């Protein structure tokens, strides 16, 4: 489980964009996003760095919490 904080994710459109970026990095990843707390939780076998990069390439800042 990768637990990211994406502070610049501010609306439903951002959520969709971030989710798409995560799925693009790993199509079998399970992603759970809570807009209120800017939390993006990802279940994947791939390393967190892969998702940090994907989120960044989508135009957002993913800060790894754990
Ligand atoms: Cu937005």
Q: Is the pTM of this model over 0.85?
A: yes
CA of 45 to the centre of ligand 1 (A): 28
Task: Report CA(20)–ligand 1 centroid distance (Å).
Answer: 13
Residue 46: pLDDT band with limits 50, 70, 90: very high
* Residue 66: per-residue pLDDT: 67
Which pLDDT does position 14 carry in this prediction? 98
Residue 5: left (phi > 0), alpha (psi -120 to 50), or beta?
beta
pLDDT at 52 over 90: yes
Instruction: State which CATH number among 3.40.50.720, 3.30.10.20, 3.30.70.100, 2.30.40.10 fits the domain covering 2-64.
Output: 3.30.70.100
Per 3-state DSSP, what percentage of the chain is helix, strand, and coil (rounded to 5)?
35, 25, 40
Q: Could you give the 3-state DSSP secondary structure of residue 36?
A: coil
| Cα of 10 from ligand 1 centre, angstroms | 5
pLDDT tens-place string over residues 6-45: 999 999 999 999 999 999 999 999 999 999 999 999 999 9
């Amino acid at each position: 489980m990768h637990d990211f904080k994406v502070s610049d994710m501010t609306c439903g459109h951002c959520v969709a964009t971030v989710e798409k970026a995560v799925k693009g990095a790993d199509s079998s990843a399970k992603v759970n996003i809570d807009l209120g707390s800017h939390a993006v939780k990802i279940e994947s076998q791939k390393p967190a760095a892969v998702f940090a990069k994907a989120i960044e390439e989508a135009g957002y800042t993913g800060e790894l919490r754990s």
